[in-house]
Chains A and B, each alone.
Chain A
Amino acid sequence: MKAVILIAGALMAGILLGAYAPITIPNEWSKYVAVAILAALDTGLGGVRSGLDDRFDLAVFASGFTANSLLAAGLTLLGDKLGIDLYLAAIVVFGTRLFENLAKIRRLLLDRYWSV
């Protein structure tokens, strides 16, 4: 339970940081940022899942985040060059994985705190 509170606090801190940082994202970049947000969300949930599962590996975690972000950004860039909305592929995949990870987290938490 401590972990959940810590992570929620980190999210709040990040939101406050972004809200008061004197940066605005140019409109052309918003697609990339959207994909980056999904990559970060996916990595975060994946990390929580593996952490609750006691299978967390920092190398896998860090490399997964980097590789996923780079691939998503690369797809977006390629889509921009080709004139196709290729970033939708990244969004769909990340979206699916979000639900999968969330489902596993839910089961893990239920197993841990609810089962009789």
Chain B
Amino acid sequence: MKKGWELPVMSITVILGALLSTQFRSQAVFARQDLPSRRSEDLLQMLKQAEAEKDALSREVTQLRELRRHPGQSAGKQPEQGMPALEGPGIEIVLTDSEKPTGKGEDPNIAIVHNDDLLRLVNELRSAGAEAISVNDQRMADSSEIACAGTTILINKSRIAPPFTVRAIGGGEGLRSALGMRGGIIEYLRFYGIQVDVKVREMLTVPAYAGSTMFRYAKPVGKQS
């Protein structure tokens, strides 16, 4: 039996407290970071929530741009900033994945619409003189990408899925013949079984560009800012 048992116990208790709070702090950090260990259902839920939020925000952006465009300078034909919604005659193309069952030894990948197909189609429309193009309501701006994202395609950082509806304002018949020429894009797509539906329209609408038009790096030449 010895006197002074408090001091050793106190020293252990200090260690205990330090360990406890450090561990608490670290675990709180990891709880925020542990995306890979979450269950896929939770991840899906988070993804859906984030996408709904993003959709709402991009709607707000379009509304605010409309608001900024309209007051004040409604008179006169000034060149408009950004890319507003446009309407006019044009062509509407619907691409659907092949419904043919793939045979033995055939790659099922060839039967679906890829980002390259859309890219070629849009490029063909542009070279044929289309003035405004949208794919599944995503306006094609000069910064729009058409990228492969797993089973979907990314345009303007938004995921789109088949069927793909491409609308282009321009001379309808001219655009149609540009696409339909021998060895052209439609023949190429149909060869792989992709269903291509082309309609010339008297009037169609191409939506406004909802992405950002701000430049972070580029600025006009010769201006001091």
Docked CA distance A29–B118 (Å)? 49
Output the least CB separation between B152 and chain A (Å): 32
Docked CA distance A3–B3 (Å)? 12
Find the B residue at minimum CB distance from A54.
B1
Contact for A18 among B2, B10, B19, CB less than 8 A? B19
Which one, B20-28, B74-82, B194-202, is touching chain A?
A: B20-28
Q: Which of B1-43 contact A (CB under 8 A)?
A: 1-2, 5-6, 8-27, 29-30
> Is A25 a contact of B17 with CB atoms below 8 Å?
no
> Is B5 a contact of A56 with CB atoms below 8 Å?
yes
Contact for B13 among A7, A57, A58, CB less than 8 A? A7
User: Given A10-B10, A58-B2, A37–B19 Cβ distance below 8 Å?
Assistant: yes
> Is A15 a contact of B17 with CB atoms below 8 Å?
yes
Output the least CB separation between B189 and chain A (Å): 49
Other than the known A24-B25, A36-B19, what 9 A-B pairs have Cβ atoms closer than 8 Å? A7-B9, A14-B20, A16-B21, A27-B30, A40-B16, A43-B12, A51-B9, A56-B2, A58-B8
A-B contact pairs, 30 of them (CB 8 A): A6-B10, A7-B6, A7-B13, A10-B9, A10-B10, A14-B15, A14-B17, A14-B20, A15-B17, A15-B18, A15-B20, A15-B21, A17-B17, A18-B18, A18-B21, A18-B25, A21-B18, A25-B22, A27-B26, A27-B30, A37-B16, A43-B12, A44-B12, A51-B5, A56-B2, A56-B5, A57-B1, A61-B5, A61-B9, A62-B8
